[in-house]
A and B are shown apart, each in its own frame.
Chain A
Amino acid sequence: MADIEVRLVDVTKRFGDFVAVDAISLEVRDGEFFSLLGPSGCGKTTTLRMLGGFEEPTSGLIELHGQDVTWLPPYKRNVNTVFQNYALFPHLSIAENIAFGLKRRGVKADEIKRRVAEALELVQLTGYEARKPGQISGGQAQRVALARALINRPGVLLLDEPLGALDLKLRKQMQVELKRIQQEVGITFIYVTHDQEEAMTMSDRIAVMNKGHYEQLGEPEVLYERPKTRFVAGFLGVSNLIPVKSEGTADNYAILRLPDGHAARAPRALLDGQSGPVALGVRPEKIRLKARAEETSGQYNRLDGIVRHSSYIGVSTQYIVELGDERQLTVFEQNVERATKAELWSPGEEVALTWLPEHSFAVPDDTGGVVEQTGIAAVE
């Protein structure tokens, strides 16, 4: 078990009546790439700003490397921040920007020079020393901001949506770049983003935040495969959620009755600790579509439906399939077995939906079964 680098204990931040951060407790391990993921207004940036020392918590405790820093000003904390808008000093050259922190700490001039050169090499901007921030591109400014923070070798690097202002292609490049740099320097990164794909690509662990607290914390695969709440299921990728009633167990499976009368199975362990109504979840890419006549092996769950809509995306095809109770499920199929128009399912065709019970997940059904699907926006 690695050392704990950052510890939040019951940290709360109120702005007037508004509770921005609601009694968050979490631990970030040394050398970890940790993300706070959530929609705008969920409190992720406020949490980061409290770590950086720009906001004081209303109550709670913040520890960095075992030291209580709750009430320390930013300049007394061993953390550095990469700001959303980079916040480069426009009146200083790139080299002076990067050297700013070392100068404040009284590092000798020749060492500053050496380390600035190193930092510029790390972010691949050697030769830009004399330029001003106004003379470089957004992607370059982002790298300078990163170099300016990393050169101080902080215990923790805080990143506040640093890629938000870049275009998609550059953002993808920088995601890989950031991960490379993080592994190279071995510093703990705490990364704030609202982009689930970005968080999943880079993070060792993610806390999915909503309304001032985190709903689930874990590795990206766990969050995706076994989301524990409706919100997490919808925020990370696309989910089909169907309200179900438990009808006892068979072997290691729970038997679940769907509103349209079908029964489905799911691993028993999924229902452990669920007391209220439950929704069964299955990701669109786990479902296979088959002709009704085709036999299905007994180990699969099987539902009958009618294809209502199909959209061809190239790498895959997205179908909307309607069940007997007019509930609609989303299905993604890789265009491997079927690829031509004649082969693909078309609207009106009667199909069977199958998936392995192990590919299911269960979340508390706190909506009373009104919304049967979430996260459609992520298909864009």
Chain B
Amino acid sequence: MTSAATARVAAARPARQVIARFFDRWSLIVYTLLAVIYLLLPVAVIILFSFNDPAGKSNFVWQGFTIQYWLDPFGPLGLSDAVTLSLVIAFLSTAIATALGTLIALALERYSFRGKGFMNSLIFLPMATPEIIMGASLLTMFVAIGTPPFFPLNFLTILIAHVMFNISYVVVTVRARLAGFPRHLEEAAGDLYANEWQTFWRVTFPLILPGIVAAALLAFSLSIDDFVVTNFTAGGTQTFPMFIYAKSRIGIPVQVNVIGTCIFLIAVGGVAITTLAGRRKQR
């Protein structure tokens, strides 16, 4: 085969084929880029506007660069309290819901007992119920009780509400991990003189830990940005999302973007650390 012959073949290739080849090579790359932009653009805007120097109260138009708000992240009145409250509720509700949810998942997966089917469907209910209805009915319930510690609404009522909707997600996530759990490992532990307690902590727990961690992360993120249910059950207290909502009518302070950026960076950092740790383990 001579090079002249090859050239003739190449020249003879119709334009349609050239376009098809071009499309083959670039379409996936372009599509991926668009998807990434779609996902990251809002985050980019939040980060960008944390450096904005707005003229008036509203932070919607780019005016100029400043790091002034990064130096004073808790400037606006009430922001510090709202962020603290959100974090405390997120940590507490995550801890309680993860502990309870893991135990429920173990019970549902391992044992058969009267009312198991009912329990199974009950677990999905908080996930299936629209948040606004759950919030409203929680409000009705707490008001109907009408006595402390449930009324007037406060920190405790928010926590109860968050634990409630978080449990469902924890149960579902941990159960998925338990479903494929090799039970003979627990028998092997028993065979090697571990009692039930040691078997759980030495064998079962380490093996379902990834599921529990995933469940806890999910619960935390659901709790920290919940607005609807929280708004119904908060009474006079104010969480971070409620703070933003309240300010949206008169102009959201730039510090909200600063804190939003921080939350994003912490989340990305957390994912990066777990990914790296996972890679090292595999090696």
Task: List chain A positions with a Cβ less than 8 A from chain B.
Answer: 52-54, 73-75, 79-81, 83, 85, 87-91, 100-101, 104-105, 148-149, 152
By a CB distance below 8 angstroms, the chain B residues around A75 are: 190-195
By a CB distance below 8 angstroms, the chain A residues around B184 are: 83, 85, 87
Is there an interface contact between B192 and A100, defined as CB atoms closer than 8 Å?
Answer: yes
Tell me, yes or no, whether B203 is within 8 Å of chain A by CB: yes
What distance in Å separates the Cβ of A343 from its nearest Cβ neighbour in chain B? Answer: 54
Interface string of B188-218 (1 = CB under 8 A from A): 1111111100100011001100000000000
Which of B185, B190, B195, B198 lies in contact with A89, CB distance below 8 A? Answer: B185
What distance in Å separates the Cβ of A247 from its nearest Cβ neighbour in chain B? Answer: 57
Given pairs A83-B184, A100-B189, A149-B191, 20 additional interface contacts (CB within 8 A): A52-B187, A52-B191, A53-B191, A54-B190, A73-B195, A74-B187, A75-B191, A75-B192, A75-B193, A80-B191, A80-B192, A81-B188, A83-B188, A87-B188, A90-B207, A91-B206, A91-B207, A100-B192, A101-B193, A148-B192
By a CB distance below 8 angstroms, the chain A residues around B198 are: 104
Per the CB 8 Å criterion, the residue count for chain B at the interface is 17
Which 10 pairs across A and B sit closest by C-beta, in order of nearness? A101-B192, A87-B188, A74-B190, A104-B193, A87-B184, A75-B193, A81-B191, A100-B192, A91-B206, A74-B191
- Whether A100 touches B194, Cβ cut-off 8 Å, given contacts A81-B188, A87-B188, is yes
Residue of A nearest to B205 (CB): A91
By a CB distance below 8 angstroms, the chain A residues around B190 are: 53-54, 73-75
Residue of A nearest to B185 (CB): A87
By a CB distance below 8 angstroms, the chain A residues around B187 are: 52, 54, 74, 81, 83, 87
Is there an interface contact between B207 and A104, defined as CB atoms closer than 8 Å?
Answer: no
Q: What's the A-B contact tally at a CB cutoff of 8 Å?
A: 59
Residue of B nearest to A101 (CB): B192
What distance in Å separates the Cβ of B84 from its nearest Cβ neighbour in chain A? Answer: 37
By a CB distance below 8 angstroms, the chain B residues around A74 are: 187, 190-191
Chain B 171-197 interface residues, beta-carbon cutoff 8 Å to A: 182, 184-185, 187-195
Is there an interface contact between B193 and A105, defined as CB atoms closer than 8 Å?
Answer: yes
By a CB distance below 8 angstroms, the chain B residues around A105 are: 193
By a CB distance below 8 angstroms, the chain A residues around B193 are: 75, 101, 104-105, 152
Residue of A nearest to B186 (CB): A87
By a CB distance below 8 angstroms, the chain A residues around B191 are: 52-54, 74-75, 79-81, 149
By a CB distance below 8 angstroms, the chain B residues around A148 are: 192
Q: How far is the CA of A160 from the CA of B189 in the complex (A)?
A: 16
A-B contact pairs, 8 of them (CB 8 A): A52-B191, A75-B190, A83-B188, A85-B182, A90-B185, A90-B207, A105-B193, A148-B192
Is there an interface contact between B194 and A87, defined as CB atoms closer than 8 Å?
Answer: no
By a CB distance below 8 angstroms, the chain A residues around B195 are: 73, 75
By a CB distance below 8 angstroms, the chain B residues around A104 are: 192-194, 198
By a CB distance below 8 angstroms, the chain A residues around B202 are: 100
What distance in Å separates the Cβ of B133 from its nearest Cβ neighbour in chain A? Answer: 42
- Whether A89 touches B203, Cβ cut-off 8 Å, given contacts A83-B187, A100-B189, is yes
Is there an interface contact between B207 and A87, defined as CB atoms closer than 8 Å?
Answer: no
What distance in Å separates the Cβ of A359 from its nearest Cβ neighbour in chain B? Answer: 45
Q: How far is the CA of A104 from the CA of B207 in the complex (A)?
A: 19
Q: Which of A54, A87, A88, A101 has the largest number of chain B CB atoms within 10 A?
A: A87
By a CB distance below 8 angstroms, the chain B residues around A83 are: 184, 187-188
What distance in Å separates the Cβ of B167 from its nearest Cβ neighbour in chain A? Answer: 27
Q: How far is the CA of A79 from the CA of B188 in the complex (A)?
A: 12
Q: How far is the CA of A105 from the CA of B195 in the complex (A)?
A: 11
By a CB distance below 8 angstroms, the chain B residues around A91 are: 206-207
